[in-house]
Amino acid sequence: MAKNRFEQVDEIQPDAILLTLKRDGDGAVGSVSIPASATGGRIPQDMVTGFAAAQDAFRNAIRLANQSKVPVVVLDPDNLWNAEWGELYRPLD
């Protein structure tokens, strides 16, 4: 089976759900940002979840993306991405 691919970005994108990963002590946490512009008007304003365990945040981002039919992009300045989740890539310019 092909691995899922996720684009690594440096800032929120207006057309995608953003999974933000960061270091928290010895572990990793994540939050999910959903721009209203990505939902086609289904939500009236941008939404951001609180930080949770990275695995839980990843699952939440996937669930929300599947419901909204929009992609997930990843902000990962601390290189915390778990390869079991899929491939994290940067597009070639």
Digit-coded pLDDT (tens) for 12-70: 999 999 999 999 998 999 999 999 888 887 888 999 999 999 999 999 999 999 988 99
Q: Assess whether pLDDT exceeds 80 at residue 93.
A: no
* pTM attached to this predicted model: 0.92
- Please give the residue range of the domain that contains residue 58: 14-84
Query: Between 72 and 44, whose confidence is greater?
Result: 72
- Within a domain: 6: no
- Within a domain: 3: no
- Within a domain: 44: yes
Query: Rounded distance, CA 29 to CA 70, Å?
Result: 22
- Within a domain: 92: no
Q: What pLDDT was estimated at residue 1?
A: 58
Into how many domains does the chain fold?
1
- Within a domain: 45: yes
For residues 76-80, give the mean pLDDT: 96
Q: What pLDDT was estimated at residue 14?
A: 92
Phi-psi domain of 36 (left: phi exceeds 0; alpha: psi -120 through 50; beta: other): alpha
